Amino acid sequence: MVWLYTMIAVFIVSLIGFAGALTLPFNDATLRKIVFFLVSFSTGALFGDAFIHLLPEAVEKSGFTLEVSLSLLAGIIVFFVLEKLIFWRHCHVEISPDHPHPFAWMNLIGDCLHNSIDGMVIAGSFLASPALGLATTLAVVFHEIPQEIGNYAVCVHGGFDRVRALLLNFGAQLTAFIGALIILLLNFKGANVTTYLLPFTAGGFIYIAGTDLMPELKKETELMHTLVQFISILTGIALMLLLLYFEH
């Protein structure tokens, strides 16, 4: 039954990848205004997720060790190298649906890592008890809905068309099955398998938010738009902080 419960839970979480479909009824002009808000929101959510969720959980599991620090730095450096590789491959022409900006691909890669960890956490929780598994699944759902809407906005802003952005977002969500299967097959109930993955993913999110998304936001200098960006970033951080109450 643990396998069945886990697979159902991960499938439900994966469906959140289609959260961006909520924006489909809007025309292009309205969507651009929404994306303007959501990219700012996603910046705050990525920072908030890294500093409020991922790093504190890693420290709680293993302490503030050298391994945590090195994993965080590794995440930043690896994502820098990945972006260089993607940049060389994709950015020799103007940004378009056929040639999206590298930060859109980077965000998807980071989301795949994060979703794999979510799958590990869900599977590990169900191995411990069905009640804990259900509680963890609900926490992941609350956590993923705003983040996936933000990820969709980043993909659209980076050059993907709406349908492709939705499909890629959903594909990234499906990597949660990989993480869940690893834990179920190895039957890890209490093993500290995320000691390195949590800070590594946090480093990737810090890199994406700090070096890719924020520079995009800085291109807008109009006072009112800047104020909206600032409020949106704080909203993303505040929501990540609020989610702590659902997780504990």
Per-residue model confidence (pLDDT) at position 76 = 92
Amino acid at 99: H
Give the Cα separation of 65 and 247 in Å (integer): 24
DSSP alpha helix (H) spans, 54-189: 55-62, 66-90, 102-128, 130-157, 162-173, 175-186
pTM given for the model: 0.68
- 3-state class of 120 per DSSP? helix
Residue 234, pLDDT score: 94
- Sign of the C-alpha dihedral, residues 126, 128, 131, 135? negative
Smallest CA-to-CA distance from 38 within 150, 187, 135 is with 150
The pLDDT of residue 91 is 46
The per-residue pLDDT for 109 is: 82
What confidence score (pLDDT) does residue 165 get? 84
Per-residue pLDDT, 246: 63
Q: pLDDT at position 90, please?
A: 46
Residue-wise pLDDT for 16-40, tens only, equals: 877 777 767 777 677 777 777 878 8
What does the domain layout of the chain look like in residue ranges? 2-14+37-247
pLDDT at 248: 58
pLDDT of residue 93: 47
Rounded distance between C-alpha atoms, residue 100 and residue 232, angstroms: 24
* 224 to 156, 221, 227, 237: CA distances (angstroms): 23, 9, 5, 20
What pLDDT score does 194 carry?
Answer: 61
pLDDT value of residue 158: 78
Report H helices in 158-188. 162-173, 175-186
For 224, the token pair is 């009112």
For residues 203 and 196, what is the distance between their CA atoms, to the nearest angstrom?
11
Among 124, 143, 141, residue whose Cα is nearest residue 132? 124
Residue with tokens 């993909």: 155
Please state, in angstroms and rounded to a whole number, the distance separating the CA atoms of residues 176 and 198.
14
What is the rounded CA–CA span in Å between residue 242 and residue 248? Answer: 11
Per-residue pLDDT of the chain (248 residues; tens, 9 = 90+): 888 988 999 998 888 877 777 767 777 677 777 777 878 888 888 898 889 888 887 888 778 889 899 999 998 998 888 777 766 544 444 444 455 667 777 778 878 887 888 888 788 778 767 876 776 677 677 667 766 777 787 788 777 878 888 888 888 889 999 989 988 888 765 445 567 777 887 888 898 888 878 887 888 788 888 899 999 999 989 988 887 776 55
Element (H, E) at 174: none
Tell me, what's the pLDDT at 188?
61
